[in-house]
Amino acid sequence: MSESKSISLFTKAIQIDKSGEKNEIEFFVEGNYILKNDHVYITYKESEISGMEGTTTTLKITPSSLNILRFGAYNSNLEFRGNEATLTNYQTPYGSIPIIINTTLLEIDLRQGEKSNIHLKYILETEGEEPLNNEVIISYK
């Protein structure tokens, strides 16, 4: 059995390049929450603010992992597991980019019917590029 409802989602993403320059994006979106087989799925449409307009994003959340799945103009399955590295291909309108995600922090605080929070830190590596430090804070209710 599954539970479905509309939610408000807040996301703050911070990226720091090798020179220490910080790029920060914050946005609120309305999304759809589904609880199915002890997994939380949150789906929402990306906007111009995120730079991925025309893409639908699904967050698949378990107590120990987070997957960010994107379909549309940008296609990817980014997998985050505490203190683990994962490999994936990031599909853009310009081609596929292999990336390594080194998760350094993953805190998931799920509270049914209350505000839930996810705090994520990771290093994104692509061939020929300097690694980028990222931090993402997600909350929804």
The string of pLDDT tens digits covering residues 85-137 is 999 988 777 888 899 999 999 999 998 878 999 999 999 999 888 999 999 99
pLDDT of residue 114: 86
Residue 1's identity, in one-letter code, is M
What is the C-alpha separation between 117 and 132, in angstroms, rounded? 23
The string of pLDDT tens digits covering residues 4-21 is 899 999 999 999 988 889
Fold of domain 2-140: Lipocalin (2.40.128)
Q: Tell me if 108 sits within 8 A of 61, measured CB to CB.
A: yes
Structural domain boundaries in the chain? 2-140
At residue 52 the predicted structure's pLDDT band, cuts being 50, 70 and 90, is: confident
